[in-house]
Amino acid sequence: MLNGKNILIGITGGIAAYKMCELIRRFKKSGANVKVVCTPNALNFVTKLTLQNLSQNQVYVEEFDIKDWKPEHISLADEADIMLIAPATANTISKIAQGFADNLLTSIACAFSKKMIIAPAMNCNMWNNAVIQENLSKLKFHGVEILEPESGFLACGYLGKGRLCSLDKIFNAVCKGLSYSEKLKGKKVVITSGGTIEDIDPVRYISNYSSGKMGFALANCAKSMGAEVVLITTKDFEAPYKIVKVKSALDMQKALDEEFETSDIIIMAAAVADYRVKEVSTQKIKKGENEELTLELVKNPDILKGLCEKKTHQCVIGFCAESENLLKNAKEKITKKGCDYLIANDISRKDIGFGADENEVTILNKNGDIKKLEKASKSVIALEILEYINE
């Protein structure tokens, strides 16, 4: 079932490291090519020779043990279809979350742009540590799947949550992840994010509170599902796909027009300003003696509606940010715009509104179907949206 798949397993220094021997055997029996990278401390719990015999590949430990011209942390990242880190210690989890690259395993993790699964194992007090939970949340936000540990008797003598989850759960998650990485293969997905900026003068502008996080999560998720991704955004992001930085609504419209014909899916997650200043001042507007300042505004083009009117094969998804009458306004908007799907957000809630790391949305489609996605991290919501529109 895994013929031709390349699985990279990272093993860290925890007592559960020995369990990886059975997992490697199962992956090999299913036809996968398995490579193993260990932290130096992992070899205190399982031997390099054992892992080499089971994987039938060299086991990598030292960062600069280079046999040819290729830097190992890059070549191993490029070769693998999926990366699994199990057991993952609190130390390694924290390093990856903070972008540290102080050994071969963490260097590969920093360079890895495909599906990554982490299965933590540690003392229950370490698992409950607020900093560790923050680091896990950060990894989840960036699309890393966390297989939470189980409760039970731990090697340290404690009874609590921290034991490595079952090998069946890990095996199934990897199989699902490999299938997931093919779902959008061959598709070009264009996503917008952030709030557009409309200049008033050289120092002032009109904008909104959009952080761009939802669009960024969608782009990361689409990439891990195998798509060719283009993110058109007003925010500064770094990612292993094409990013087009724009400023105003007109800039965003132009960038979308350039990508439109060759795209398969367009997701308009950006908060586009409805109006712009009619005449932008070339000089800073002085306060003067008047108590009031009048700005003449003109409508920006309705980018979403324009895309829907000219689409041929493209699937167009819009976003709808509402502070009241969410479903009523969303139903009117999907009819007016003509998009295939509309994602409705309730921005009146601080826990899921602009800038939040979590979201809760309602998906409407052109046939009148409605699906609510319960509150979750924006990465999870992004996955659920993409899976729904790709059914």
Q: Cα dihedral sign for 365, 368, 371, 375?
A: positive
Backbone angle region of 355, left / alpha / beta, with phi > 0 → left and psi within -120 to 50 → alpha: left
Active site annotation includes 156: yes
Backbone angles phi, psi at 268, to 5 degrees: -95, 75
- Residue identified by tokens 């990278």 is 37
Neighbours of 200 (CB within 10 A): 17
| Active-site residue, from 124, 156, 221, 315 | 156
Q: Tell me 145's DSSP state.
A: E
Backbone angles phi, psi at 349, to 5 degrees: -90, 125
Nearest Cα residue to 181 out of 391, 372, 387, 374: 387
* CB 79 within 8 Å of CB 70: no
* CB 146 within 8 Å of CB 139: yes
Can you tell me the distance from the alpha carbon of 341 to that of 389, in angstroms, rounded to the nearest whole number? 8
Strands 358-365 and 370-377: antiparallel
Helix ranges (DSSP H) in the chain: 20-29, 48-55, 72-79, 90-97, 104-111, 124-127, 130-141, 167-180, 213-224, 249-260, 303-310, 326-337, 378-389
β-partners of residue 198 are 206
Backbone angles phi, psi at 370, to 5 degrees: -130, 135
* CB 38 within 8 Å of CB 63: no
> What is the set of active-site residues?
156
